Amino acid sequence: MNALTEIWIAVQAWLFETFVSPVLFHFGLMGWFDEAFDAVEFFMLGVLQILVIAFLMRPVEALWPLEATSDNRSVAVDRVYTILNKLGAIPLVVFAAAYPITNWIELQLREWRLSPPRIENLLPWTHDHAFVSFLIYFAIYDLAAYGIHRAQHRFSWWWALHSLHHSQRRVTAWTDDRNHILDNLLVTLVLAVFSQIVGVQPADYVSILVVGRLIESWSHANVDIAFGRPLRWLLVSPRFHRLHHAMAGPAEAHIHDHNFAAVLPVWDVLFGTALYDRQLRPTGVPAPEIDADNGRGWFSQQVAGIRRLSTALFPFLATSR
Amino acid sequence: MARILIILLALSAAAAPAWADSVIVLNSEDASYSIIDRASRTELQRLPLGREAHHLTRTPDGKELLLASTATNELVSLDTRTLKRVRVVRDIVDPYQLGYSPDGKWFVTAANRLDHVDIYRADNLVLAARLFVDSVPSHLAFDVRSTTVFVSLQNSGRLIAVDLARQTVKWSTDVGKAPAGVVALPDGKRLLVALTGEQSIVTVDAESGAVTGRLETGKAAHNFRALGDGRHYFLSNRIESTISLIDTQDMKVEASVRVPGGPDDMDITPDGKELWVTQRFLRRVAIVDIAKMNLIDTVRVGKSPHGLAILDTAPGAGVPNAEKAGAASAPRLN
């Protein structure tokens, strides 16, 4: 493990010193020196996640598929989303857009001397048990993700954006990153506020990000895997999350309003949104305009998302078209 | 019986804390600090510490080491002999850089994110004045008479001189791109400012603020550490990944050593033989043999190690090493 860590650190330093820091120096961007170094690690983690999806998750999907699918264009679009997200292109845009706001929030709270208590201060024994404090923070952030996800379904304007994620009829391990860029921005802003309350930024625990994101990718995998008790309360399985992507029908108009959890299904159990069954349902959204995403490319989907948001915010736009 | 005695002695030796020759390193992105045993060059402990802790300084009596946690607005104080937490000073807003004036009357912090310089009365740490500056105050240094604190402003490329008694800005001068480390030389007349956005340092007249000279060093010149003879200073060059030894009398680079991984803060062992340097990108601390100017070892620590302090619990501990070595007033800058 130590050897792997050494290699990881050496690669990060080499990438930064060879490709990034000369650019920052040349363009007078040394104020972003430390942030850029962290961005290199984000990029490396993204590469790692893509490799895990491509060479571990996808072969498993091919061996034990839940639904017979071919690697059609729709799945390819999800792959574009994943690459743009994991390698940092979309996060960079979101960071640039969100930074003035998140920075203002953070600095304002600091100026007001509002300093949230850390878990290690509330529970001093966790000082010497880093893994325990990691698990606590992981659970806290997973609860926040659950709450955000409920909001994405609850508010019609947010659903207008989030429905892009649900419109996929061919849900695979690539689907996790299929999100509207404004949806990403909103989630980032909410988490920025939340992190000020918790006292720990997600980036403080890179492992929170990576472990969480890999599990989320896996939960979208097209494989017939479900867990029995008690594991089914502790870890999202592909079958558990697939039900969340189920296409609503006349008999189950709100089937997709179940199983919101990102990693820990216990939140669904506690808040009454868990649904465990083995029935296989098609995935997607029945609304024709949203379902049309399946024939669109990345850019068209983004445009369609903005159109849906406009209509949700200003209903008269729908009638005027 | 003898065997039992040996075992007991060994056990007691093992139980005794090895704090006497310790090095404290702040891991700025790990929310932790490391305690390193200097003799064996191994990390003994890694303990939690606030959030975004970057720099540290000793109290004037040398009994406490203040670890500054910027995002939690607090100073965590360690007893320099036992390394136990003595107290936590709260409401020190965004204490990025910090230091006491040589006469021990003033305690000054540079709030890097919040763009202000705070001047506290050192005896009770009550805020005397807050000066908002433009912008990103980075490093600070005091003059030998404790009348002025000089603060580099990274974003605007300026250096300001603040009158400590009046708590007003005496002068502000344009020094170059992304100024960082600053030292007031023992002659009381010259300042050195490292330019992280360039590959040089500049000399500044302490009285007028006029830039009087420039010396090429290495890409992203960043931070200083006095050798202790009142004449030579080490300088870290973060992109060049070197440490330059500057002769401030002849204003030349006398020697240079490669220290990979974005070298940053430095400190010198009490015997003056080793320079310890944080390697921000490698999660290590490098050890340089000063006489030979070569890298002799590294020690694993936490993520993005920044400030460090070599503890010396021998009589007279607490006095900065450079002063003990004879410099009139070599400011301790981390």
Query: Which pLDDT belongs to residue A68?
Result: 83
Does residue A113 sit at the B interface (CB-CB below 8 Å)? yes
Query: Which pLDDT belongs to residue A320?
Result: 57
Query: Which pLDDT belongs to residue A114?
Result: 72
Query: Which pLDDT belongs to residue A71?
Result: 60
Is omega for the bond preceding A230 within 30 degrees of 0, making it cis? yes
CA B276 to chain A, closest CA, distance in angstroms equals 20
Residues in A touching B280 (Cβ below 8 Å): 34, 37
**DSSP of B236-289:** EETTTTEEEEEETTTTEEEEEEE--S-EEEEEE-TTS-EEEEEETTTTEEEEEE
CA atoms within 13 A of residue A321's CA, in its CB half-sphere: 8
Residue A111 lies in a domain: yes
Query: Which pLDDT belongs to residue A134?
Result: 80
Quote the domain boundaries for residue A250: 64-320
Residue A279 lies in a domain: yes
Residue A6 lies in a domain: no
Residue A34 lies in a domain: no
- Do the bridges between strand B232-237 and strand B74-79 make them parallel or antiparallel, or are there none, so unpaired? unpaired
Task: Name the residue in chain B with its Cα closest to that of A26.
Answer: B197
Query: Which pLDDT belongs to residue A319?
Result: 63
Q: Render pLDDT for A58-93 as a digit per residue (tens, 0 to 9).
A: 999 999 999 887 667 889 999 999 999 999 999 999
- B93–A107: do the CB atoms touch at under 8 Å? no
Residues in B touching A16 (Cβ below 8 Å): 281
Name the amino acid, one letter, at B250. D
Query: Which pLDDT belongs to residue B255?
Result: 97
Query: Which pLDDT belongs to residue A205?
Result: 65
Q: Render pLDDT for A268-311 as a digit per residue (tens, 0 to 9).
A: 999 999 999 889 999 999 999 999 999 999 999 999 999 999 99
Residue A220 lies in a domain: yes
Give chain B's residues under pLDDT 50.
Answer: 1-2, 5-6, 8-16, 315-334
Task: Name the residue in chain B with its Cα closest to that of A107.
Answer: B114
Query: Which pLDDT belongs to residue A104?
Result: 86
Residues in A touching B197 (Cβ below 8 Å): 25, 28, 30
Query: Which pLDDT belongs to residue B254?
Result: 97
Q: What is the ipTM of this complex?
A: 0.81
Query: Which pLDDT belongs to residue B30?
Result: 83
Residue A46 lies in a domain: no
In this prediction, residues A178-187 reach a mean pLDDT of 96
Whether the CB-CB separation of B57 and B332 falls below 8 Å is answered with yes
Q: What is the count of residue pairs from A and B with beta carbons less than 8 Å apart?
A: 80
Query: Which pLDDT belongs to residue A208?
Result: 67
Query: Which pLDDT belongs to residue B331?
Result: 32
CB-based burial label for A171 (10 Å; 0-12, 13-18, 19+): buried
DSSP code for B157: T
Task: Name the residue in chain B with its Cα closest to that of A19.
Answer: B239
Query: Which pLDDT belongs to residue A107?
Result: 79
CA B247 to CA A272: how far, in whole Å?
72
For residues B139 and A226, the model is more confident at B139
Q: What are phi and psi of B63, to 5 degrees?
A: -85, -25
Does residue A9 sit at the B interface (CB-CB below 8 Å)? yes
User: How many domains does the structure of chain A reveal?
Assistant: 1
Residue A128 reports pLDDT greater than 80: no
How much of chain A exceeds pLDDT 90, in percent? 69
- A25–B239: do the CB atoms touch at under 8 Å? yes
Residue A50 lies in a domain: no
